[in-house]
Amino acid sequence: MRPSFARHGLIAALLGLCPVAAHAAGPAPGPAVPAALPAALPAPTDAQRFCQNVAAAAADARFALQTRKLNELQAGIAERVAALEAKEVEVKAVLAAHEEARKHAEDSLVAIYGKMRPDAAAQQVAALDDATAAAVLRGLNARQASAILNEIPAERAVKLVNTIAGLVPPPDKPQPPPPPPAEEPRS
């Protein structure tokens, strides 16, 4: 019973404080107030007047703080973008140097294998991986490459020629997965 009493007391207090709810509940007993007169609002307290006076300044300060934070974030992003662009230039330079060194090494290998006897070069080329062997054979003139391929076992020579022709991707590149088997139509 006690919680019910407290609840009813709370509701009564709220209705007493809220003139709209009290008016909706029915006319209050006592002298009737003419409808033409507006209800007098209580005078604002010091705290309410202070809040009204500083509301615009507080909004301006909040806006200035948010603007400053956004500018700081934008500056941080600009710094990161500049650092990433500098890193990109650095990586491109390293890749260009690496590609140049690889090309120079490949040219050197081609020159070395081009000066070897075909039977000796064939033994060496046969021991290389497919991509390197194909690159060396592509760099040689046709006469030298054919003499070396003539000395390599036929199975290995066919594999190298297919790699050179681009029919078989080098082993260091992943091969695409085979297509899924076709499903049989269901009846």
Position 128 in a domain: yes
- DSSP secondary structure string for all residues of 97-135: HHHHHHHHHHHHHHHHHHHS-HHHHHHHHHHS-HHHHHH
Position 121 in a domain: yes
Which pLDDT belongs to residue 50? 85
Q: Is 149 helix (H, G, I), strand (E, B) or coil?
A: helix
42: left (phi over 0), alpha (psi -120 to 50) or beta: beta
184/187 Cα distance (integer angstroms): 9
120/130 Cα distance (integer angstroms): 18
Position 3 in a domain: no
- The structure tokens listed for 27 are 């006319």
CATH number, domain with residue 115: 1.10.220.30
Q: Is 139 helix (H, G, I), strand (E, B) or coil?
A: helix
pLDDT by residue for the chain (187 residues), tens only, comes to 455 555 555 555 544 544 444 454 455 555 555 555 556 778 888 888 888 888 888 899 999 999 999 999 999 999 999 999 999 999 999 999 999 998 898 888 888 888 999 999 999 888 888 888 888 898 898 899 999 999 999 898 999 888 888 865 555 555 566 666 766 656 5
Position 159 in a domain: yes
Amino acid identity at 46: D
CA dihedral 168, 170, 173, 176 (to 10 degrees): 10
| 134: exposed, middle or buried (Cβ count in 10 Å: 0-12, 13-18, 19+) | buried
Position 152 in a domain: yes
Q: How far is CA 53 from the centre of its chain?
A: 47
Which pLDDT belongs to residue 105? 87
Which pLDDT belongs to residue 171? 56
Which pLDDT belongs to residue 77? 97
Count structural domains, the chain. Answer: 1
CB 118 within 8 A of CB 147: yes
Which pLDDT belongs to residue 32? 54
Q: Which residue range(s) make up the domain with 114? A: 104-165
Place of tokens 């909706």: 24
CB 137 within 8 A of CB 149: yes
CA dihedral 58, 62, 68, 72 (to 10 degrees): 150
